[in-house]
Structure 1
Amino acid sequence: MAMRRTLGLVTALLATGIPAGAQGLPGEIPAAFRPVTERWDYERREAMVPMRDGVKLHTVILVPKGAKEAPILLTRTPYSADKLTGHAESAHLGPVLQGYDNATDVILAGGYIRVVQDVRGKYGSEGDYVMNRPFRGPLNPTAVDHATDTWDTVDWLVKHVPEGNGRVGILGISYDGFLALAALADPHPALKVAVPMNPMVDGWRGDDWFHHGAFRQQNLAYIYEQEAARAGGLGWWSTHFDDYEAFMAAGSAGAMARSHGLDALGFWRKLSAHPAYDAFWQDQAMDRLLAARPLKVPVLLVHSLYDAEDIYGAIAVWKALHPKDPAGEKVHLVLGPWCHGGGIQEGSGLGSLKFGQDTAHAFRWEMLKPFLDQYLRPGAPEADLAPVTAFETGTNRWERLPGWPRAGAGTATAATPFYLDAGLTVSPAPPRAGDAAFDEYVSDPAKPVPYRARPVMPMGYEGLRTWPQWLTDDQREASGRTDVVAYLSAPLTAPLRIAGEPEVNLVASTSGSDSDWVVKVIDVYPDEVPAQPALGGYQLMVSADIFRGRYREDPARPAALAPNVPLTYRFALPTANHVFLPGHRIMVQVQSSWFPLYDRNPQTFVPNILFAQPADYRRATQRIWHEPGKASFVALPVVP
């Protein structure tokens, strides 16, 4: 009986494919599995594309089924090609691209072959990663940079993607926009068009790392996430729900960095060693570099008027490239009422603002698609693009312009001073003798002015974070603080239109030996707005920025300020294209901190503010002067 039972068990095991005497169950995953993709409307290919130095870059190629003689649209990125091309489990290309590529509507309609590539040193690519890798030269002694990597990639694509038509365009936002600009330095003949959107251009003057010398310390999290691990995955950790409290507890920006181990990261070591605008920053400013090179590829620069990350770059590149193409045949500029990257999102409003139309949809279909088609599709009609297409906030309308700022008879802007005057007023009339000579406030580093209502969320786009819209935040909370001076005009009786960069001429003194100055130009809405009650009395920032006083004389050589001596600070605010409507008022706010977005100035001169010690932070009495010979004003670029 026992023998029969044993033989029966062996027979059963053999019938199931399990060898007699085997331990446990066999694995069920095959050694190799090939997905069945016949029903997909695209083909996904992956390649390790060789560069001239032997390094191979991970590249994802998405080819629409049935594509033939199709143009290629390339994006190079440090944000993972796999993640940016895998947003949905779908057999359709659209959902796969949705997420990063909310310009999917244009990409699908154009039948583009979509290519996304990891830059060297990130995710699936070989090589070493360097933040915003400089061009070959003093800061990069190697034989490769992003220009050569793009050249080699384009060359490979036109030779190895048989469905292509031999024409390649490059498009990117932010860091990817910087990479699109880098491609222009030495473009491959097959590169026919570039669309840099909200690009990183000059990290010291006004993009990601500094603004006029003040360090954007909330970007420490970005540096950490980019450089702590090749494939990301290490998230910035915090000790507080409110970033204001977290950065106050840390002390200086350097102390916060050290507490998270950033001393091990190469870019932080470079950045913290170069707080001034020295050769390190000057030699990698993209606008300066491109100004020195011939213009070979048509470019569509895209700028967001409410860009909280790279509000400087696109306009700076326009200034550098437009002189090479004064007729506006190759270089075009679009200014939209968006946040960072908002041109590929839904664009009917931002924060409390409503535009009465989907401005981003209009951009993609009426500007971006015709521009790409013209250069990437032989026989496509010429895009009917003006040199500059700008959305005017306030009136909420698109304009076609011959240049930027406006140019031409009857439209050229005039720098018109609006004076900060006695009685906390803003007026076109200069100050008079006999009026109060200055206004005064105390700036206390122990209680810095928040840049937005607390609790302050970290920079980001997920969950409770509303970082993308903060430039449209109501400024009433700040205007009510005793360490913020707010100057206000009378209600306007006629529209006041501005287009361009407001210029600050601030005459100020401090009892300390260093100081920051924040100047904000604000549109104050009427006390009641029947069509949108929430905007009653709203204080909307039109243009604002910060200036670190130690760079008053020379951005490359910091110097202490003479205490209690009125000094003149001149600097430009970001580009605006706005109409102050009748019944609205103009406000100018002045303060000395914008925390925790920017690190606190200790208000005593130290060699490197990033590493200021607790004893260095001291209260200071600040005075804004407004008397004949010491007039403070903001010159607005007024359109007749």
Structure 2
Amino acid sequence: MKKQLLFAFSLLLLVSVTFAQPGGINPDAAYVKEQYTKYEYQVPMRDGKKLFTSVYVPKDQSKKYPFMMDRTCYSVAPYGTDKYKGSLGPSPSFLHDGYIFVYQDVRGRWMSEGIYEEMTPEKEVHKTNNDVDEGTDTYDTIDWLLKNVPNNNGKVGVWGISYPGFYTTTALLSRHPALVAASPQAPIADLWRDDGWHNGAFFLVANFGFYPGFTNRQDDKPTQRRGGRFDPGTNDGYDFFMKMGPMKNTNDKYYKDPIRLWNEMMDHPNYDQHWKDRNVLSHLHDIKTAVLVTGGWYDAEDLYGAINTYKTLVKENANTPIYFTMGPWVHGGWARGAGDHLGDVDFGGPTGPHYRDDIEFKFFSHYLKGTDMNIAKVNAFETGVNKWNEYKSWPPKEVEDRQLYLLPGGKLSFAAPAAGKDSYDEYVSDPNNPVPFLNHKSMDMDREYMTADQRFLADRKDVLSYTTDVLANDVTIAGNIWANLKVSTTGTDADFVVKILDVYPDTASNNKFTGKDVKMAGYQQMVRSEPMRGKYRNSIEKPEPFTPGKVTPVNWELQDVLHTFKKGHKIMVQVQSTWFPLIDRNPQTFVDIMKCDSTAFKKATQRIYTSKTNPSFLKVRVVQ
């Protein structure tokens, strides 16, 4: 789910502007009106509720067509049978190839009846007609379409990005025999882990501005009314959130408690039953539908969702065709534009068209229309060297687990620390002077932060850096990364953030995307980063305090990468305890962070141990 309001509604405009010609003319818009007839229906569900559904049917009725369906909480606008979308389907290739396109407002959103639940809990058993969820709603919709829309070929495909990616995943749980192909793209899989909290650290700037605009209704009354945009009155997120104070002030100062979905987040900071019910991964078994899971290495919202949806489907459905594509994209970046860079980092050419034409279109065409297909089970873009790789599985089997050690003196090495005294590095973490995650003012979770140059933090005493010698050979890592730190703190709670950086040589040249006043020589490109809220180090369900001064292991996953650190580069690891306002501030005292006041915020001294007795390291998978 996209936590930036502008992106949520840009999906509605995507088909109107993405493929426009110079001069603002969109040739697809005219084609849609010429070649398709639009219908609107209120499709009945088994419990009597009706879901608003737009259906675009080819005017050429000389042959039968498969369905392509997108279920969304972001509106199927425009409403009215005389008002058409500017394009249809995942890309123009679908529009011109001929499908019956279906768009549906999910239960409780926009023009559909019912009460909306964020990531509706799925039920394993449906004993009565009142036992409904997104799986049953999809089943009932497909059944209705097959019986009521003429000239269909009896086959259905579903796709969606972000929240609609989640609805695509839940479509699999309908287990309807006519659903033969589905592509969850950047899907939410576990709301606590995807968009809300990363290992217990709350993603503040991504969530805060989203809910006012997202919450256009909290009742059973269909409406086309949009939510209201929150105006912070500034573009300086760092300053705004510092002045806001502790998390409880989001309601005390701004929301005034009316937003149910926001309050659910504030009332459930731990991974309790509320969030367990919203983890769709546990339901992904007995799937017969062919699946193409798609994600981006630089998806700041739902990287976890894409990777773990794929891994779970493969694990639980050994005989089902499961495909996986990961490119150098931000959230939804494969669906539009070239995908040729992010911020200052050049990916060597367009990557989006390859996915849209050679993978996505061919996948659906094969399963819905019977055309030939020659797609590898895994297509993954290798950043650093900018090339596509094909694998039979992910992560690839040709890897070796290795440990990258943090050593005394700011060194980083695959060699373990030598015997000696119990060495450590320390810094004072002050929640009232947190480390910024951007080097410029913004009220958003600017997606470029995931590849951004980290040299702007060079003078921060509360950021530790560990660097390898210049690499004599390329080092390629593929798969997930685990941080294994030995730490101590003078507080009773603490966050730890680990960032892996690719340090360019001093001879590196600028590229055509390099920003003004930026030099790629010595650039410190972030490759992967993740926070860990220390009180969840042993259990995300039952937080526990640190014992001040006690050496304590803190381990967490930094998620998957496919990246080559080239010969002549260096690998750097940075460790810090604040990352603001990307994540909220940890008071560094053991309290309910969503409800505490400003008196709970205390400075603390953090130690990162670097000795043989207490080693700190990253576990990485190195390609052989």
Decide: shared fold, TM above 0.5: yes
Given the alignment, which residue of 333, 352, 356 partners 1:364? 356
Report the alpha carbon displacement of residue 138 of structure 1 after superposing the two structures with TM. 11
The alignment partner of 2:77 has SS state of helix
The alignment partner of 2:303 has SS state of coil
Match of 1:18 in 2: none
Q: 1: distance between equivalents of 2:597 and 2:363?
A: 53
Match of 2:290 in 1: 298
1:40-79 aligned at under 5 Å gives the runs: 40-67=34-61, 68-79=63-74
The alignment partner of 1:502 has SS state of strand
AA in 2 matched with 1:74: M
Cα–Cα, structure 1 residues 170 and 37, in superposed 2: closer, same or farther, change >3 Å?
closer
Report the alpha carbon displacement of residue 536 of structure 1 after superposing the two structures with TM. 1.5
| CA-to-aligned-CA distance 1:249-268 (integer Å, 9 cap, x gap) | 11122211342326222222
Match of 1:160 in 2: 148
Matched, 1:227 2:211: no
Match of 1:216 in 2: 203
Matched, 1:255 2:285: no
The alignment partner of 2:292 has SS state of strand
Match of 1:4 in 2: none
Report the alpha carbon displacement of residue 309 of structure 1 after superposing the two structures with TM. 0.5
Matched, 1:487 2:474: no
May I ask how many residue pairs the two structures share in their alignment?
Answer: 579
Cα–Cα, structure 1 residues 271 and 530, in superposed 2: closer, same or farther, change >3 Å?
closer
Match of 1:10 in 2: none
Given the alignment, which residue of 336, 339, 357 partners 1:345? 336
The alignment partner of 2:594 has SS state of helix
Cα–Cα, structure 1 residues 37 and 439, in superposed 2: closer, same or farther, change >3 Å?
closer
AA in 1 matched with 2:501: I
Look at both structures and tell me which one has the larger radius of gyration over its CA atoms: 1
Cα–Cα, structure 1 residues 72 and 584, in superposed 2: closer, same or farther, change >3 Å?
same
Match of 2:559 in 1: 574
Cα–Cα, structure 1 residues 233 and 227, in superposed 2: closer, same or farther, change >3 Å?
closer
Report the alpha carbon displacement of residue 139 of structure 1 after superposing the two structures with TM. 13
Q: Which stretch shows the higher mean deviation, 275-284 or 211-220?
A: 275-284
Q: Is the 8 A contact 1:525 1:539 kept in 2?
A: yes
Q: 2: distance between equivalents of 1:539 and 1:578?
A: 14
Q: Is the 8 A contact 2:65 2:151 kept in 1?
A: yes
Given the alignment, which residue of 290, 308, 321 partners 1:316? 308
Report the alpha carbon displacement of residue 229 of structure 1 after superposing the two structures with TM. 3.2
Q: Is the 8 A contact 1:217 1:253 kept in 2?
A: no
1:120-135 aligned at under 5 Å gives the runs: 120-135=107-122
1:417-432 aligned at under 5 Å gives the runs: 417-432=403-418
Report the alpha carbon displacement of residue 402 of structure 1 after superposing the two structures with TM. 1.2
The alignment partner of 1:553 has SS state of coil
AA in 2 matched with 1:79: Y
Q: 2: distance between equivalents of 1:64 and 1:150?
A: 22
Greater length-normalized contact order (CA 8 Å, ≥ 6 residues apart) = 2
The alignment yields a C-alpha RMSD, in angstroms, of 2.4
Cα–Cα, structure 1 residues 396 and 139, in superposed 2: closer, same or farther, change >3 Å?
farther
AA in 1 matched with 2:303: I
The alignment partner of 1:74 has SS state of strand
Q: Is the 8 A contact 1:422 1:436 kept in 2?
A: no
The alignment partner of 2:473 has SS state of coil
Match of 2:609 in 1: 625
Q: 2: distance between equivalents of 1:423 and 1:165?
A: 67
Cα–Cα, structure 1 residues 85 and 135, in superposed 2: closer, same or farther, change >3 Å?
farther
Match of 2:8 in 1: none
Q: Is the 8 A contact 1:390 1:577 kept in 2?
A: yes
Given the alignment, which residue of 394, 401, 421 partners 2:391? 401
Match of 1:556 in 2: 541
Matched, 1:416 2:416: no
Cα–Cα, structure 1 residues 52 and 473, in superposed 2: closer, same or farther, change >3 Å?
same
| CA-to-aligned-CA distance 1:503-528 (integer Å, 9 cap, x gap) | 11011111111000000111111113
Match of 2:587 in 1: 602
The alignment partner of 1:256 has SS state of helix
Return 5+ residue gaps in structure 1 as ranges. 1-35, 460-466
Report the alpha carbon displacement of residue 83 of structure 1 after superposing the two structures with TM. 4.5
Q: Is the 8 A contact 2:477 2:620 kept in 1?
A: yes
Q: 1: distance between equivalents of 2:568 and 2:120?
A: 49
Q: Is the 8 A contact 1:247 1:256 kept in 2?
A: no
Cα–Cα, structure 1 residues 564 and 37, in superposed 2: closer, same or farther, change >3 Å?
closer
Q: TM-score, normalised by structure 1?
A: 0.86
1:422-501 aligned at under 5 Å gives the runs: 422-434=408-420, 437-459=423-445, 467-501=446-480
AA in 1 matched with 2:181: V
Q: Which stretch shows the higher mean deviation, 548-557 or 346-355?
A: 346-355
Match of 1:175 in 2: 163
Match of 2:97 in 1: 110
1:74-113 aligned at under 5 Å gives the runs: 74-83=69-78, 95-97=86-88, 103-113=90-100
Q: Is the 8 A contact 1:64 1:113 kept in 2?
A: yes
Given the alignment, which residue of 579, 597, 602 partners 1:613? 597
Q: Is the 8 A contact 1:509 1:567 kept in 2?
A: yes
Q: Is the 8 A contact 1:500 1:575 kept in 2?
A: yes
Q: Is the 8 A contact 1:491 1:584 kept in 2?
A: yes
Return 5+ residue gaps in structure 2 as ranges. 1-29, 219-224
AA in 1 matched with 2:340: S
Cα–Cα, structure 1 residues 89 and 44, in superposed 2: closer, same or farther, change >3 Å?
closer
The alignment partner of 2:195 has SS state of coil
Q: Is the 8 A contact 1:350 1:469 kept in 2?
A: yes
Match of 2:327 in 1: 336
Match of 1:542 in 2: 527
Cα–Cα, structure 1 residues 369 and 176, in superposed 2: closer, same or farther, change >3 Å?
same
Q: Is the 8 A contact 1:73 1:170 kept in 2?
A: yes
Cα–Cα, structure 1 residues 479 and 501, in superposed 2: closer, same or farther, change >3 Å?
farther
Q: 2: distance between equivalents of 1:587 and 1:450?
A: 19
Q: Which stretch shows the higher mean deviation, 526-535 or 273-282?
A: 526-535
Q: Is the 8 A contact 1:139 1:280 kept in 2?
A: no
Match of 1:5 in 2: none
Q: 2: distance between equivalents of 1:38 and 1:204?
A: 39
Q: Is the 8 A contact 2:122 2:280 kept in 1?
A: no
AA in 2 matched with 1:384: N
Q: Is the 8 A contact 1:110 1:373 kept in 2?
A: no
Q: Which stretch shows the higher mean deviation, 134-143 or 556-565?
A: 134-143
The alignment partner of 1:621 has SS state of strand
Q: 2: distance between equivalents of 1:89 and 1:353?
A: 40
Percentage of identical aligned residues: 39
Q: Is the 8 A contact 1:167 1:192 kept in 2?
A: yes
Report the alpha carbon displacement of residue 37 of structure 1 after superposing the two structures with TM. 11
| CA-to-aligned-CA distance 1:138-182 (integer Å, 9 cap, x gap) | 999952111111111111111122132111111001100000001
Report the alpha carbon displacement of residue 227 of structure 1 after superposing the two structures with TM. 2.2
Match of 1:392 in 2: 382
Q: Is the 8 A contact 1:224 1:262 kept in 2?
A: no
AA in 2 matched with 1:70: Y
Q: Is the 8 A contact 1:220 1:257 kept in 2?
A: no
AA in 1 matched with 2:385: T
The alignment partner of 1:124 has SS state of coil
Cα–Cα, structure 1 residues 126 and 262, in superposed 2: closer, same or farther, change >3 Å?
farther
Report the alpha carbon displacement of residue 134 of structure 1 after superposing the two structures with TM. 1.1
Q: Is the 8 A contact 1:49 1:57 kept in 2?
A: yes
Report the alpha carbon displacement of residue 59 of structure 1 after superposing the two structures with TM. 1.0
AA in 2 matched with 1:357: G
